[in-house]
């Protein structure tokens, strides 16, 4: 029952994440101009890259909680073979004034402010946290390149931290880990499936309602309890990642 309530409370998130595979504004680093999921093997294995850097840039008022950073580091540490370690940095960038951010704008902001790129044996990911919303108010975050994620800070705040809602740490962790799952190639988005568990209706998501990569249906009866636990990857998703070079 607790798992079901958790899924219901985060339904707006699962319903609203999107994989944007277009690159409307090319980055100066050629490696980072690929489609979502195309770096799955590099992220999971140690053959080409032995360390991982995550550069998080947030607009004023929307830094990710330090607990979220620890959760994300632990999440990737359990999945990715990076013997030289995982480093996360977080810095503030200028506000966007609450304006909406679609894929094109996210790409422009990334090009303007991102400084950490894949080089040598270090693979770099980028997370942009905006002070507004997407054009679709239901969207809390999306992955839009092989190393790029955009989160909508104000929208996440709107759906967390109040009575009957998920805690902010829980929702931030869940949104970011879900999007990282897509960068890792889940589901069938660069990482091959050992067993068919792709949601036939909702694309690159898991058909297990208890899995982090599940696409739940949005419901108005979502907020019946305060949830404190982030969902985990199910056996099928974990086995896919392990077979493709992960731990």
- Residues paired with 57 in a beta bridge: 91, 128
pLDDT tens-place values along the chain, 247 residues long? 444 344 434 444 444 565 555 556 789 999 999 999 999 999 999 999 999 999 999 999 999 999 999 999 999 999 999 999 999 999 999 999 888 888 899 999 999 999 999 999 999 999 999 998 888 777 888 999 999 999 999 988 988 888 778 889 988 998 899 999 999 999 999 999 999 999 999 889 999 988 999 876 222 223 334 456 788 999 999 999 999 999 9
Structure tokens that stand for 141 in this block:
């975050």
Domain 2-243 matching CATH 3.40.390.10: the answer reads yes
Domain residue extents for the chain: 2-243
Q: Which long-range contacts (CB under 8 A, 24 or more apart) does 191-196 make?
A: 191/37, 191/40, 191/41, 191/44, 191/240, 191/241, 191/244, 192/240, 192/243, 192/244, 193/236, 193/240, 194/236, 194/239, 194/240, 194/243, 195/236, 195/239
């Amino acid at each position: 029952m607790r798992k079901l309530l958790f899924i219901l409370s985060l339904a707006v998130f699962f319903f609203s994440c999107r994989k944007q595979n277009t690159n409307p504004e090319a980055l100066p680093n050629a490696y980072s101009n690929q489609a979502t999921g195309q770096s799955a093997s590099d992220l999971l294995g140690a053959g080409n890259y032995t360390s991982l850097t995550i550069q998080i840039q947030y607009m004023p008022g929307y830094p990710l909680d330090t607990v979220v950073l620890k959760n994300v580091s632990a999440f990737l540490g359990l999945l990715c073979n990076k013997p030289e370690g995982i480093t996360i940095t977080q810095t503030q960038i200028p506000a966007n004034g609450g304006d909406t951010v679609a894929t094109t704008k996210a790409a422009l902001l990334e090009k303007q402010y991102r400084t950490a790129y894949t080089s040598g044996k270090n693979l770099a990911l980028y997370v942009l946290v905006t002070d507004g919303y997407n054009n679709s108010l239901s969207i809390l975050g999306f992955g839009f390149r092989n190393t790029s994620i955009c989160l909508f800070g104000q929208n996440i705040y709107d759906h967390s931290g109040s009575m009957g809602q998920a805690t902010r740490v829980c929702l931030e962790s869940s949104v970011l880990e879900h999007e990282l799952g897509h960068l890792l190639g889940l589901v069938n988005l660069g990482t091959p499936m050992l067993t068919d568990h792709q949601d036939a209706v909702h694309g690159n998501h898991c058909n297990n309602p208890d899995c982090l990569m599940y696409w739940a249906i949005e419901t108005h009866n979502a907020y019946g309890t305060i949830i404190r636990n982030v969902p985990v990857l199910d056996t099928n998703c974990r086995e896919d990642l392990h077979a493709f070079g992960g731990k």
